[in-house]
Structure 1
Amino acid sequence: MTVFGYARVSTTDQDLSLQIDALKAAGCEIIRSEKRSGTSTADRQELRTLLDFIRTGDVLTVTRVDRLARSVADLQDIVRELRTKGAALRATEQPIDTSTAAGKAFLDMLGVFAEFETNLRRERQLEGIAKAKAEGVYKGRPRSIQADQIAALKAEGLGASDIAKRLGIGRASVYRLLSS
């Protein structure tokens, strides 16, 4: 049986050391860490590596369930994959141990709250953007493509694909600007 540890923070300026120290104290033999958003499991190579290597009897340990996943769906997918492989999930700061019935129930509850927190944060962000737009403060990202450049290249007889290549943009962007 191998005890694996997984540590994650969302941004590059955050520190992983507290999580790594806690995982070492919990007896993790191998610890993988990364600085990636937890809203999706996509592009989280260290997590994927652990899930690929975990075998029957192994344990994946995290400090808190929100370090592993921010949505119930992702959390359930990870737990299902662990269960299929005969492995368990444990958390150092929460009573989670998927090898017990109580641990599984607590995990499901925490997953719901983690997703709820993510949804609340997204709502607050959208409210803030809407308020800033109403006040004329937020105007979005400045255009990186000038419509007059596209029109000039079109006037020279270039097609959408050639225009896109020359400007280093997508063909769909060319069509969108030509139709507006």
Structure 2
Amino acid sequence: MRRAAIYLRVSTDKQTTENQERELRDVAAHSGWDIVATYRDEGISGAKSRSARPGFDALCKDATRRKFDVIMAWSVDRLGRSLQDLVAFLADIAVARVDLYLQQQGLDTTTPAGRALFQMCGVFAEFERAMIRERIRAGLARAKAKGVKLGRKPIEPSKERAIVRLLQTDGIRKVARKVGVGVGTVQRIARELRAPQKDSVPLSLRG
């Protein structure tokens, strides 16, 4: 019986790996594979490096130790979105003589066609990510051209003065809670107070 390891990943905390795992376990049962380990990365983008994905890093290390015979994943983009990283991963598991099964692509790397398809899928995943980045940049450019003001909304002068006053006695988190603003806003004002710019108007006198 082949020993199988499942790798699961979702990009946000609002997503779940439950559906991925259920279908992969069904495939393993149908194929007669014994699932010996499950690795997860939840709320982590596939664009992150291996070191930034602890589940994937552990999977790769255990693959080199031959703790299983086949790696199962829902789709190629669960493994990563960089073609270079995907090809390196495939090379590593090939050296370790560990096979790869991808549910969405119906991929099995025991065949030359499977290895070629794996690289092709990596190209499409990287292309998709590049297109998303381009759409975001184009959207920001259109908004700027229409006069839409980007960035954070300026804090009200009255709240700014209250923050300056409260910082003399309270901590940053307590001030943020009292005034009803984010901790980052209070931290920014605290930094400005510690290092005022030359010829600037004191925060306490603004408005």
TM-score for both structures, normalised by structure 1: 0.75
Q: Which runs of 5+ in 1 are unaligned?
A: 155-180
| Whole-angstrom CA distance in 1 between matches of 2:114 and 2:143 | 43
1:22 corresponds in structure 2 to 23
Task: State percent identity of aligned pairs.
Answer: 34
Asked if 1:44 is matched to 2:53, the reply is yes
Deviation for aligned residue 1:153: 8.8
Deviation for aligned residue 1:2: 2.1
Give the number of the structure whose alpha-carbon radius of gyration is greater.
Answer: 2
2:177 corresponds in structure 1 to none
Check the 8 A contact 1:58/1:88 in 2, yes or no.
yes
Query: What's the secondary structure of 2:48's corresponding residue?
Result: coil
Check the 8 A contact 1:95/1:106 in 2, yes or no.
no
Deviation for aligned residue 1:115: 0.8
Deviation for aligned residue 1:142: 6.5
> How large is the RMSD of aligned CA atoms in angstroms?
2.5
- CA deviation string 1:74-121 (max 9, x = no partner): 111211221122212111221311221010011111111111111111
Aligned positions, number: 155
Once the two structures are overlaid, the 10-residue window that deviates more, 99-108 or 55-64, is: 55-64
| Whole-angstrom CA distance in 1 between matches of 2:20 and 2:111 | 24
Distance of aligned partners of 1:152 and 1:122 in 2 relative to their CA distance in 1, 3 Å threshold:
closer
- CA deviation string 1:8-63 (max 9, x = no partner): 11111012111010121122332222221011234110011111112446211111
Once the two structures are overlaid, the 10-residue window that deviates more, 140-149 or 86-95, is: 140-149
| Whole-angstrom CA distance in 2 between matches of 1:151 and 1:104 | 57
TM-score for both structures, normalised by structure 2: 0.66
Q: Which runs of 5+ in 2 are unaligned?
A: 29-34, 155-184, 199-207
Once the two structures are overlaid, the 10-residue window that deviates more, 118-127 or 21-30, is: 21-30
